[in-house]
Chain A
Amino acid sequence: MKKLFLILAGLTALFLAYATYLALKVAPTDALQGDVYRIIYYHVPSAWTAFLLFFINFIASVQYLARTKALLQKAVQWVVIAIGVIGVIATFLPQVQALLPTGMRPSAVATTVLAIPAFYFLLGWKFPGDRMDMLALTAAEVGVVFCTIVLVTGPIWARPVWGIWWAPGDIRLTSTLVLWLIYVSYLVLRRFSNSAQTQIIAAALAVFGALDVPLVYFSIWFFRTQHPQPVIGGGGSMDPRMLHTLLISWMAFLCFAFLVCWSRFRLELLKREAEQAEAMESLVGAGSTAKASLPLSRSAR
């Protein structure tokens, strides 16, 4: 396992180096913005990766909550199947297509809708029992790291292009900051709460927190915002070399995120192993103390 991880880490490092080479050397310079536009090759893939991780956190949290009761678990499974089937059919109805923002392809919406049952059943199968909660925690933590990068690189791009670091009141920027704050509060809750209900409360918080993800994503379609309009699926156009570089960068960051999640998940496994060992030791310690004090209590009787 360790050997496989090292091989994948080496390949990912090469992939990231190649993506950076494409971003800095191969992709053409933007006629209006100059070289600073190349920040999108880090900013946009980081945002997409963060969204994906928060989506995984959402699915894992729903699964974890659903597993508390067998009937609830069955009901949620049917709801997820219904979302997939009805969602895909609906996206091809002309009435629903008329509601979609300009430039958004129905096939892209259908794929996104299908991802919900696909992820739900795949994760449910691969992460049994308490591992689902560990996956939710892992995805949230790594998602926050990627979201932090989005919030740092965005203003660095905005300063030379807009002339300001931050546009106060802009819905895309504000909702992204709120999203980051929600998941930071999720991590704070997980870190500092000692209640037996922490995992359930955190899962419920994650389910509500995930509602901000579509708001962030669709804000540039539905609201007037200073943030640039989407060039993929939003009716805009992009030089094929730029698009190629952007997609390669995203693939490279996805591989990197996968490895970081793998490490974080292994760490969580080890942590729970240590907690169990410690609990066992204190239990054994308490047992031997009770045994030692038994003759005393008998003689006292």
Chain B
Amino acid sequence: MMDRSRTHRTRRLAAASLAALVATAAAMAPFSLATLAWAGELAATSGASAGALASALPAASTGASGITEPAVGWINTSRLPLLVALVIICGSVIAGILLARSGRPLRIRRLAALDAVDEAIGRATEMGRSVLFVPGIQDMTDIQTVAGVTVLGRVAKTAAEYDARLEVPTSRSIVMAAARETVQAAHFTAGRPETYNESNIFYITDEQFGYVAAVTGKMVREKPAACFYMGAFYAESLLFAENGNSIGAIQIAGTAEPSQLPFFVAACDYTLIGEEFFAASAYLSGERDQLGSVKGQDFGKLFIAAAILIGCALATAAVFIPSLAGAAASFKAHLGG
């Protein structure tokens, strides 16, 4: 009884917070700035002093060199709109997590690429061939590499359960170290610590095409049955994918590099596109907190869509109502455009 009422209170609190956040966003960030700017424009036009209004808006000092110098002090006021947007988006993610913890049912659409992980590793086990995982060519400073390594943990756990050999060639030393920790943890989680072999996760070279040559050569010689490409890729994406095709491997890719997505989509069996890749770790874990963050992310998308629609409406209206032109320009400027 006590738990149910606490859950109910948490749920109400989270829902109220989320509603307040979205309402504040809608009222404050895009609309009120435009309204303030519009009011300022009208006031200036009618001869009234806009000094008070201007002083309320963030002003950047321009040095003699023409470079806009950052404001001194605790807050860089020229970046205030971005801070507001960040607070709203982060707040929506946190609110999503709170909602998930309150026990609210979560529906995340199925991602075919992730549902195929088990199938791919099972195929490799049946064929007696290895599984290849490529965590991208960037270092751990790139969030895509971090996301790739977290997906590696899930893949490694499944590979350990199926007793499939997983190989992870890396292009950065730190990524090798992180991947080793991750795969070892996965083997422990799967209850197969004795099957962990750290020599299966190895460093090749930082040089992009040297790494590509080594990995594609390995693919052609050893013919892994399943290939995972999860991380940041550049020109080597199609080289990997086509080589994987030539050896008959099932290929699952995920990247947030927009320019490489078409190559993976054309050549791989399954592809995680952009934000699907970042949601992959949450999806595979099944943990409520992580799934809640994915839901919260969607509210952030709604906020951005609202800002885009309001900006487009203002810009369109400004064509027909000249007095709105200043407001539209101010809206764009304050949102960093």
Q: Do A and B bind each other?
A: no
Could you list which residues of chain A lie within 8 angstroms of chain B, going by C-beta atoms? Answer: none
